[in-house]
A = this chain, B = another copy of it.
Amino acid sequence: MTKAEAKAEAKRDQRRREILDAAKDLFAERGFHSASISEIIKRAGIARGTFYLYFNSKDAVFESILELAIHELQVRIIGVDVDEGAPPPALQLNQNVSRVLSYMLSDRALIQLILAHGLPPDAPMAMRVDSFFAHVEELIASSLSYGMSVGLVRQCDASLTAAQILGSVRGGMRYLIQAQESFDVTEVASQLIDFALHGVIVSDLTRS
């Protein structure tokens, strides 16, 4: 029976994924509110009731999608190790950004959802996403504080700057998904980081 059960479970997972995919695309295209259950089930090719066999509510699908995405992002962001034997921080940074980048670019609908979910600001899930970004921002801020303490980072308001850095990455991503051309992830990651580290002015001029 184990075999039959396994097969059934696989089929179930498959269905669940189909619904998630259909919902994700629609949420990305039209926002949470405008995407109706009717459209989701039409795109998923299932009946009305079937939807509720896999998810308790419209909110629940949305939550599943975002929760998964946030989790996937979370695991791709690894605190930089500054120990002796560790790889150079610059490389670690690049790897972090590259991982996030390649994940997001593998799923354009998702990035859309994360960057511009059309949820009421006071909705639980909106706050969940916000708190994720706040968490990342804190991570950046504390890195900046550390950098300042060791004289690597120039004196600045860590929180504000962290918000800017995160914003610049979001802006970069926005641009990348909209521009249809493909590109080298590592290369782009370098550019994103370079901007945050050195800005746009040529170094020589900053000296004068």
Evaluate whether A191 and B144 lie within 8 angstroms (CB atoms) in the complex, with A197-B199, A203-B206 already known. Answer: no
Q: Are B172 and A160 in contact (CB under 8 A)?
A: yes
Q: Are B121 and A154 in contact (CB under 8 A)?
A: no
Confirm or deny: A86 has a beta carbon within 8 angstroms of a beta carbon on chain B: no
From DSSP, what is the main secondary structure of chain A's interface residues?
helix
Confirm or deny: A156 has a beta carbon within 8 angstroms of a beta carbon on chain B: yes
Q: How many copies of this chain sit in the oligomeric assembly? A: 4
Chain B residues positioned under 8 Å from A159 (CB to CB)? 175, 179
Q: Are B144 and A200 in contact (CB under 8 A)?
A: yes
Tell me the minimal C-beta distance from A30 to chain B in angstroms. 5
Q: How large is the interface on A (under 10, 10 to 19, 20 to 34, 35 or more residues)?
A: 35 or more
How far is A197 from B199 in the complex, measured between Cα atoms in Å?
4
Confirm or deny: A8 has a beta carbon within 8 angstroms of a beta carbon on chain B: no
Q: Are A28 and B195 in contact (CB under 8 A)?
A: no
Q: Mark A110-152, 1 if CB is under 8 A from B, else 0.
A: 0010001011111100000000000001000000100100011
Tell me the minimal C-beta distance from A193 to chain B in angstroms. 9
Chain B residues positioned under 8 Å from A118 (CB to CB)? 31-33, 118-121
Q: Residue on B with the closest CB to A169?
A: B167
The 13 listed contacts between A and B (C-beta, < 8 Å) are A31-B118, A31-B121, A152-B205, A154-B201, A156-B191, A160-B172, A161-B191, A163-B171, A164-B171, A164-B175, A166-B171, A198-B198, A203-B207
